[in-house]
Amino acid sequence: MAKEKVVSDEAKKEIEKLFHHLPHKQAACIDALKIVQKYNRWVSDQALEELAPILEMSPNEIDSVATFYNIIFRKPVGRHVIFLCNSVSCWIMGYEDIRKAIKEKLQIDFGMTTKDNRFTFLPIPCLGTCDHAPALIIDEDLYRDLKPAQLDEILAKYE
Amino acid sequence: MERPLTQHIKKDGTPLSLKEYEATGGYEGLKKALKMTPAEVMNLVKDSKLRGRGGAGFPTGMKWSFVPMGEDAPTLKYIVANGDEMEPGTFKDRLLIEGNPHQLIEGMIISGFAIGASMSYIFLRWAYHEAARRVLVALDEAYRAGYLGKNILGSSYSVDMELHTSVGRYICGEETALLNALEGKRANPRNKPPFPQVSGLFGKPTIVNNVETYCNVPHILTKGAQWYMSISKSEGGGGTKLYGASGKVKRPAIWELPLGTTLGEIIEEYAGGMQDGYKLRGLLPGGASTDFLTPEHLNIKMDFEEVAKAGSRMGTGTIIVMDDKTCPVGMCLNLEQFFAQESCGWCTPCREGLPWTAKILMALEEGKGRPEDIGHLTFQTHYNAPGNTFCALAPGAMEPLQSALKYFREDFDEHINSHRCKYHN
Ligand SMILES: Cc1cc2nc3c(=O)[nH]c(=O)nc-3n(C[C@H](O)[C@H](O)[C@H](O)COP(=O)(O)O)c2cc1C
Ligand code: SF4
Ligand code: FES
C-alpha cells in the first residue's frame, strides 16, 4: 500500500505558485519548507522526499537548507511553541526568572515538549522589542514587559 | 526639532493607511523623483550625505553609483530592504515597518528608480509577524494606487515588490548571506568582490540597504539635500537617527534625534537616567557587536566618527546599558553564546573560536576559571580580528569582549581568583 502523502496537493500548488518570479525552482526551497511547515507543523524525512521532485533537488540538498535555519523544525513540535528571548537586554532584565517560572509550571526547559504535546519551549535571539524586555512569542503572539506572575493567564489562552 | 521619519507614527500603535500616509505628504517624493532623471536622484542622495543605517555607515549615494547604468547595463536589477534586525539590543526597524510601512515602500521605489531596478524584495525576519501582516496590506494598497507595478503613475518606470520572511538566522542580515537566503540557499556569506552592486541576487546588480536608510529617501526628495544636512548635528552625515536605549534606564524606548546627539543627552534626558538603585557602569552604543564605552564617554556625539574615535562603533544606534549590578563577564557570556550559536560555520576561526570563547566565559561564571584563561580570551580577540574571518560576524563578536577585557578586567580577575561570580551568589 502506498504511504499517505504528507505534502498535500494544496501545499504543492502553493509551492508551484512561487516558481513564477524565480529563475529556477531551487530558489523556492526555503519558502517551500515554510509552506510544508505551515500545514504539518514540522518537516519530516518523508516531506523532504516528497519535496525533492517538486523542487528538482535531492532530499539531502533540501535538508542542508532546512537544518541551517532556526525556525524550520525537523522534529515534531507541540501544538503551541513558546519562544523566549534569551538575548542580552532580556538577560539584563531577567529573562532567567521567566524561564524558571515556565519550567516550574510546565515541567519543561528549552528544547523540550510537554507530555500532553501542548507546548514546545525554545529560546530565540532578540525579538526586537528590547525596550519592553523580557519578551516572548507564543505561536505568532508577542508578549512584552513580562513578569512571572502574568504567565498563568498567558498560558491559559493556549489549549 | 524635526523628526521626519517618526513624527506621523501613531501613538496607538496602528500603522498609517495609504490615505493617511498621503495626507502627510506621502508619495510626493516619488512623484518628484519620477520627473527627474535617475542620475539626478542619485546625486541628490549623494549630496544629502545620507549614510547607511544598517551599522557600517557607508554613504548611500556612493553605494548606488557602483550599479551599472545605461544601455549596456543588465535590464534586470534588484532593490532589497534589509529588515532582518537580529542584532541583539536592536529594535528600530520594527518601529519603522510597523508604524509606517508606506514610508519604507516609497523609499524603496525611489531608490529602485535611481538604479533602474525592476524587482524589489523586503527581507523581513521571521519573528516580526505583525510587521509582515502590515507590509502585505501596504503592498496591496500601493499596487492598487499605481505606485507599484507597470508604468508607475503613468511614467515609463516599472517595478514589482514582494515580501520575503526569513526563517531565522542572524547571518541572514549580512548582505551577501541575505542574497543566498533569498535564492533559497543556506545563508553563508559570499566572497567580495564581486560586490552585490555589480553581481548580486541571481548574479544581477543588486542594492541592499537597511530599512531605516530607505525611510530617509522620500524626505530627501521632498525637502532637499540642504535641509537634510541642516537637521543633523554631525559633520560626517546628514539627517536624523533612530536612537534607542534598553537595560535598567528609567524610560527605555526609541527616539528620533539629530544625527550626532550626544550619548549623555540620550541616556540622561531621553532615557531619564538610570533606575533608582542602579549606576551606569558601561554601555554598548549600537547593538551586541559594538565595543563597550563607559560613563567617561557620555559627552561624545553618537555619530560614525566620534564613536569610532572613542574606540567603538555607532552600529545600529540602539544602546544597551549595563548597570553596576549586572556582571560584565556574564554579559559577555550571553553575547558570545549568541554569536557562537549564530556562526554560519563557514570559516574556522569563527566556527571553532566562538564556541571556545563562550566555554571559557562559562567556566569563569561557574567559578572554574584559571589565570591562563585571560590569555586565551585575548588570543581569540586577535584570532577573530577583521581580515582573519570570511565575514564581519566574528570580528563583531569580539568587540564587546575585547573592550570588556580593557574596561572591566578586574571583574574577570575576580571571577578567577575567588572562584565564583559575586553578582550571582
Ligand atoms: C552578521 C551581520 C549581520 C547583519 N545584520 C544586519 C541587519 O539585520 N540589518 C541590516 O540592515 N544590516 C545588517 N548587517 C549589515 C549588512 O551587511 C549591510 O551592510 C547593510 O544592510 C547595508 O545597509 P546600509 O548601507 O543601508 O547600512 C549585518 C552585517 C553582519 C556582518
Ligand atoms: S565569520 Fe562566522 S559567520 Fe562569517 S563566514 Fe565565517 S563562520 Fe560564517
Ligand atoms: S534582547 Fe530580548 S527583545 Fe531584544
Q: Is residue B47 part of a domain?
A: yes
Q: How far is the CA of B277 from the centre of ligand 2 (A)?
A: 40
Pairwise CB contact (< 8 Å): A92 & B322: yes
Is residue B282 over pLDDT 60? yes
Q: Is residue B424 part of a domain?
A: no
Same domain membership, residue B333 and residue B312: no
Contact A31, A51 (CB under 8 A): no
Name the band, by pLDDT with cuts 50, 70 and 90, for residue B18: very high
β-sheet with B318-323: strand ranges across:
B253-258, B240-246, B318-323, B280-284
> Is ipTM strictly over 0.90?
yes
- SS3 assignment, position B273: coil
Residues with Cβ within 8 Å of B71's Cβ and at least 6 positions away in sequence, in order, are none
Averaged pLDDT score across all residues of chain A: 95
Distance CA B175, CA B207 (A): 9
Contact B421, B415 (CB under 8 A): yes
- How many Cα atoms within 13 Å fall on the side-chain side of residue B168? 20
- How many Cα atoms within 13 Å fall on the side-chain side of residue B141? 21
Q: Is residue B128 part of a domain?
A: yes
Distance CA B425, CA B288 (A): 26
Best substitution site from B125, B126, B174 to test ligand 1's pocket, by max atoms within 8 Å of Cβ? B174
Pairwise CB contact (< 8 Å): A128 & B245: no
Distance CA B153, CA B22 (A): 14
DSSP strand pairing (A80-85 vs A136-138): antiparallel
Same domain membership, residue B248 and residue B109: no
Report, as an integer, the average pLDDT of A70-91. 96
Nearest chain A CA: its distance from B222 CA (Å): 30
| pLDDT the model gives residue B142 | 98
Pairwise CB contact (< 8 Å): A72 & B167: yes
pLDDT in tens, B160-201: 999 999 998 999 999 999 999 999 999 999 999 999 999 999
Name the band, by pLDDT with cuts 50, 70 and 90, for residue B425: low
Q: Which of B134, B105, B67, B132 is CA-nearest to residue B218?
A: B105
Same domain membership, residue B358 and residue B211: no
Per residue in A15-27, is it b (16+ CB within 10 Å) or e — as a string? beebeeeeeebbb
Is residue B224 over pLDDT 80? yes
Residue B184 Rama label (left phi>0; alpha psi -120 to 50; beta): left
Nearest chain A CA: its distance from B148 CA (Å): 16
Residue showing cell 516609497: B106
Best substitution site from B87, B169, B170, B171 to test ligand 2's pocket, by max atoms within 8 Å of Cβ? B171
Report, as an integer, the average pLDDT of B230-246. 97
* Domains contained in chain B, number: 3
Interface A-B, measured as beta-carbon pairs within 8 A, has a size of 130
Same domain membership, residue B399 and residue B270: no
Q: Which CATH number does the domain housing residue B269 bear?
A: 3.10.20.600
First to last CA, chain B: 47
Q: Which of B198, B44, B196 is CA-nearest to residue B114?
A: B44
Give the helix/strand (H/E) hosting A20.
none
Q: Is residue B9 part of a domain?
A: no
**Option in B127, B245, B253 nearest A127 (CB):** B127
Same domain membership, residue B341 and residue B295: no
Contact B389, B339 (CB under 8 A): no
* Domain termination residue (choose one: B230, B259, B281): B230
Name the band, by pLDDT with cuts 50, 70 and 90, for residue A2: low
Q: Which amino acid, B209?
A: N
Supply the range of the domain harboring residue B176: 18-230
pLDDT in tens, B243-263: 999 999 999 999 999 999 999
Is residue B366 over pLDDT 80? yes
Percentage of the residues of chain B whose pLDDT score is greater than 90: 98
Closest ligand to Cα A91: 3
Task: Report yes or no: A81 at the B interface, CB cutoff 8 Å.
Answer: no
Give the helix/strand (H/E) hosting B368.
none
Is residue B70 over pLDDT 70? yes
Averaged pLDDT score across all residues of chain B: 97
Distance CA B6, CA B14 (A): 13
| pLDDT the model gives residue A29 | 96
* Domain termination residue (choose one: B230, B250, B265): B230
Percentage of the residues of chain A whose pLDDT score is greater than 70: 99
For residue B145, what are the CA distances in angstroms to B27, B69, B120, B148, B165?
11, 28, 18, 8, 24
Same domain membership, residue B125 and residue B261: no
Name the band, by pLDDT with cuts 50, 70 and 90, for residue B240: very high
Residues with Cβ within 8 Å of A16's Cβ and at least 6 positions away in sequence, in order, are A54
Q: Which of B338, B333, B319 is CA-nearest to residue B91?
A: B319
CA-based nearest residue in chain A for residue B180: A27
Same domain membership, residue B153 and residue B94: yes
Q: Is residue B11 part of a domain?
A: no
Same domain membership, residue B171 and residue B74: yes
Distance CA A121, CA A113 (A): 6
Q: Is residue B4 part of a domain?
A: no
* Domain termination residue (choose one: B178, B195, B230): B230
Q: Is residue B208 part of a domain?
A: yes
Q: Is residue B370 part of a domain?
A: yes
- Regarding pTM above 0.90, the answer is yes
In ligand 1, the atom with minimum distance to the C-alpha of B393 is 1
Q: Which CATH number does the domain housing residue B393 bear?
A: 1.20.1440.230
Same domain membership, residue B196 and residue B281: no
Report, as an integer, the average pLDDT of A95-112. 97
Report, as an integer, the average pLDDT of B140-166. 97
Is residue A1 over pLDDT 80? no
pLDDT in tens, B371-409: 999 999 999 999 999 999 999 999 999 999 999 999 999
Distance CA B87, CA A116 (A): 35
- SS3 assignment, position A127: coil
C-alpha cell at B264: 549623555
| pLDDT the model gives residue B328 | 98
Q: Which CATH number does the domain housing residue B178 bear?
A: 3.40.50.11540
pLDDT in tens, A134-149: 999 999 999 999 999 9
Residue showing cell 510601512: B101
Q: Which of B325, B339, B359, B250 is CA-nearest to residue B290?
A: B339
**Option in B94, B330, B342 nearest A128 (CB):** B94
Same domain membership, residue B72 and residue B178: yes
Contact B132, B81 (CB under 8 A): no
Residue showing cell 512569542: A137
Is residue A3 over pLDDT 90? no
Same domain membership, residue B391 and residue B342: yes
Distance CA B318, CA B254 (A): 8
Same domain membership, residue B382 and residue B289: no
